Amino acid sequence: MKHLLSTYDLSRADALRILDVTEEMAAVGTREVKKLPALRGRTVATLFFEDSTRTRISFEAAAKRLSADVINFAAKGSSVSKGESLKDTAQTLEAIGAEAVVIRHGASGAADRLAQTDWISAAVVNAGDGTHEHPTQALLDAFTLRQHWARVHGVDPTGTDLSGMNVVIVGDVLHSRVARSNLWLLNTLGAHVTFVAPPTLLPVGIGNWPCTISYDLDEALATGPDAVMMLRVQAERMNAAYFPSTAEYSRRWGFDDARLSALDERGLEDTIILHPGPMNRGLEISAGAADSPRAVVLQQVSNGVAVRMAVLYLLLSGDH
């Protein structure tokens, strides 16, 4: 593996390898010395053209736990505002010694562009490109789901996939790179995905995707899913009215307290709730649901560090 750009072309074997390495990286997080010398003397640059809290600090923590040096680049306050191009920025980082570039960009395909051109020879990790993909988020979700799935079945998660798991992904699929990356990866790992969204927030051509579509959250929950993933309503990407009001969105597609108690009533004690963050409490998820024992949001965040350690380790060790 030279780059990690998407989960669409990630093979089952590679996906399982990343998850298995993550398992060992997560174990390091429980030790007193949370550090490994594996990438000592290597430099990782995070190149963020969009704001982010968890993804950037997660990559930074991952690189530091592997003893790599980290250069953080944020477009705001940089020479990008003076008109510097992506190519020049990336080449500058490489000239400083970056061997891996973690890039987040508002344009779909920016990470591919960096990887496929001869601008830089560093390994490229896509940390979210426009509405295209966010592969490490999907991997950390899959890792969280696998931990849960293995616990429910009483098996060791290492080497297992998500065969037979039903995952419902709810919300703004149209703008969500998380939804796309998750669909491809969960499908590769054998899980069944149902998208639930208002018709206006589903992309054109979704009929050809390997998933079930529903417009009714209660109907989808009635099928007894093993996990429900709530997506953030991405107000910053919505330049038109996609739904009549936030109150109506919340009532029809939000995971509120009533839906939380409905899960209990149906005896679905093993159903977990995921959210990639940041959460709009009261909009797509109620505070009651977000803080319930079913919610694994913080587990997702800590798994994120382990997944990113695994990815950086696999990209930067060995010959390429």
Partner 1 sequence: MNPADSDNRSTSVSATSRTVLTGSDIERVLTRIAHEIIEANKGTKDLVLLGIPTRGYPLAQRLGQRIAAADPTVDLESLVGQLDVTMYRDDLRHGTSRTPSPTRIPAQGLDDQVVVLVDDVLFSGRTIRAALDALADIGRPRTVRLAVLVDRGHRQLPIRADHVGKNLPTALSEKVQVRLAETDQSDGTPITDVVIEGGA
Give contact residues for partner 1 (rule: CB under 8 A). Answer: 17, 20-21, 23-24, 27, 31-33, 35-39, 66, 158, 313-314, 317-319
Question: Which residues, 6 or more positions from 139, have their beta carbon under 8 angstroms from its beta carbon?
Answer: 7, 15, 18, 19, 22, 185, 307, 311
61-79 CB burial, b ≥16 within 10 A, e <16: bbbbbbebbbbebbbeeee
Is 278 annotated to bind a ligand? Reply is: yes
Identify which of 302, 270, 308 has the alpha carbon closest to the alpha carbon of residue 123.
308
State the minimum distance, in angstroms, from the CB of residue 45 to partner 1.
Answer: 18
Classify burial at 263, counting beta carbons within 10 Å of its beta carbon; exposed 0-12, middle 13-18, buried 19 or more: buried
90 versus 316: smaller Cβ distance to partner 1: 316
Is 35 annotated to bind a ligand? Reply is: no
Is 12 annotated to bind a ligand? Reply is: no
Ramachandran region, residue 51 (left: φ > 0; alpha: ψ -120 to 50; beta: rest): beta
State the minimum distance, in angstroms, from the CB of residue 38 to partner 1.
Answer: 4
State the minimum distance, in angstroms, from the CB of residue 312 to partner 1.
Answer: 11
Pairing of strands 100-105, 212-214: unpaired
24 versus 112: smaller Cβ distance to partner 1: 24
CA 320/CA 316 separation, integer angstroms: 9
Is 308 annotated to bind a ligand? Reply is: no
State the minimum distance, in angstroms, from the CB of residue 28 to partner 1.
Answer: 8
State the minimum distance, in angstroms, from the CB of residue 189 to partner 1.
Answer: 17
2 versus 153: smaller Cβ distance to partner 1: 2
18 versus 233: smaller Cβ distance to partner 1: 18
17 versus 237: smaller Cβ distance to partner 1: 17
Is 42 annotated to bind a ligand? Reply is: no
| Phi, psi (degrees; rounded to nearest 5) at 127 | -105, 30
Is 77 annotated to bind a ligand? Reply is: no
79 versus 158: smaller Cβ distance to partner 1: 158
Is 190 annotated to bind a ligand? Reply is: no
Identity of the residue numbered 76: K
Question: Which residues, 6 or more positions from 271, have their beta carbon under 8 angstroms from its beta carbon?
Answer: 224, 225, 226, 227, 228, 263, 294
State the minimum distance, in angstroms, from the CB of residue 23 to partner 1.
Answer: 8
Identify which of 197, 198, 280, 206 has the alpha carbon closest to the alpha carbon of residue 244.
198
Annotated binding site for carbamoyl phosphate: 54-55, 104, 134, 137, 277-278
Binding-site residue ranges for L-aspartate: 82, 177, 232
Binding residue positions = 54-55, 82, 104, 134, 137, 177, 232, 277-278
